[in-house]
Amino acid sequence: MTDKVVLDNQLCFQINRAHQLFNRFYQSPLKKFELTYAQYTVLLALWEHQGVTINQLGDKLGLGTGTLTPLLKRMETAGWLTRTRSTEDERRVIVNLTSKAVQSKSSILEETSNCISKLDFDDSTYQKAMDTIDDIQHRLDKSVDQRER
C-alpha cells in the first residue's frame, strides 16, 4: 500500500467504479426486457428462491427495504412479480415471480450469459476474482460486525 492518498488507490473507490461499470455493461442485454441491472439481480435471487419475504430478499441482495420496496413496486407494475401480505403475519410481504418472469428466464439468461465471456476471463482468473471479492466481503462483514458491538 502507498502512503499517498490518491483516489485511484482507494479500494472503496475502485469497487464502486467497477459496480457502476457493471451496471452500464448489463444495460444493453437487459434493455430489450426493459430491466435495470438492479431488477435483474432481483430476478436472479427469486429464480433461486421464490416466495420469500421482502426482508429475506433484502438480506440476499444487501439492500434495505427503503431501496428495495420502490424497486419491487416498479417490477410488480411491469408484471415481473407479485407482492402479497402473509396470511400468518400481515406485517410480512411475500414476493413471488409471475409467469412472465418464469417464462422469460431462459431468454434473459441467454442474453446476459455473453456478458462475462466478453471480459475474456479463463476459468482460473474468474475463480481468483470471485475468491478475492468473497474475501473482501467477508472482511467487510467482520469489520462491520465488530463496529456495531
For position 12, what pLDDT does the model report?
93
- Choose among 77, 59, 58: nearest CA to 68: 58
pLDDT by residue (tens digit) across 38-66? 999 999 999 999 999 999 999 999 999 99
* Phi, psi dihedrals of residue 84, rounded to the nearest 5°: -135, 145
pLDDT at residue 147, rounded to an integer: 66
Give the model's confidence band at 82: pLDDT under 50 very low, under 70 low, under 90 confident, else very high.
Answer: very high
Over the chain, what is the mean pLDDT? 92
pLDDT tens digit sequence for 9-34: 999 999 999 999 999 999 999 999 99
Mean pLDDT of 100-125: 92
**pLDDT exceeds 80 at position 146:** no
Q: Distance between CA atoms of 68 and 54, rounded to whole angstroms? A: 8
